[in-house]
């Protein structure tokens, strides 16, 4: 079926695959995460994957990949091809070009993607709520929820716990704020 569409549109197979993968990436960003919570809960509970230290890794990575790929791909497309050509003329291998030239240029966007994903995993509540039942495995938002009861809340303890959980994130942000700004505005200006 894919080949028929490619022939009908007179697209090369490589161009068609590029469009197809871009469509899958876009669908990964457009599907609301909360609409997939029930199927994920059913799959995890039937396969015995809930209540483990690695339980939340799979959903976090799966839902972070589309945005991460989108950001990194946009940044890499903006890197001049002349850098790779110059490395090839100098006799550089593919791996030396990738790790010695391209990755250092991509450092701002990689740090930006890491920080965005760290913030989203740090603040995520819903998957941890449905997939983790043991108190020893609770994430920070689930731990903060323990200070509230059905009829009362201990507000001084909640505020102290929020301040303590906020401190590492704020320190991490200020330590890498220059890299975040470089990564976010890297493709904004041409020239």
For 76-108, how does the pLDDT look when each residue is reduced to its tens digit (9 = 90+)? 888 888 888 888 888 888 888 888 888 888 888
CA distance 122 to 25: 23
For tokens 């001049």, the residue is 80
Per-residue pLDDT tens digits for 113-158: 888 898 888 888 989 999 998 988 888 888 888 888 788 888 888 8
Nearest 5°: the CA angle 49, 51, 53 is 90
For tokens 């913030």, the residue is 119
- In sequence order, the 6+-apart residues with CB closer than 8 A to the CB of 177 are none
141, 110 Cβ separation under 8 angstroms: no
């Amino acid at each position: 079926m894919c080949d028929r569409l490619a022939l009908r549109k007179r697209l090369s197979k490589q161009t068609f695959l590029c469009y197809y993968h871009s469509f899958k990436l876009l669908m990964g960003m457009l599907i609301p995460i909360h609409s997939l919570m029930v199927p994920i809960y059913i799959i995890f509970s039937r396969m015995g994957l809930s209540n483990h230290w690695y339980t939340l890794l799979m959903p976090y990575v799966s839902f972070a990949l589309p945005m991460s790929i989108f950001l990194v791909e946009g940044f890499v497309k903006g890197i001049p091809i002349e850098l790779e050509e110059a490395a090839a003329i100098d006799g550089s291998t593919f791996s030396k070009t990738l790790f010695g030239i391209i990755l250092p240029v991509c450092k701002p966007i990689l740090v930006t993607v890491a920080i965005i994903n760290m913030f989203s995993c740090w603040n995520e509540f819903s998957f941890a709520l449905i997939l983790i039942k043991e108190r020893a495995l609770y994430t920070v938002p689930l731990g903060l929820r323990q200070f509230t009861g059905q009829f009362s809340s201990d507000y001084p303890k909640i505020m102290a716990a929020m301040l303590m959980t906020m401190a590492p994130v704020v320190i991490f942000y200020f330590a890498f704020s220059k890299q975040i700004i470089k990564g976010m505005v890297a493709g904004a200006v041409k020239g």
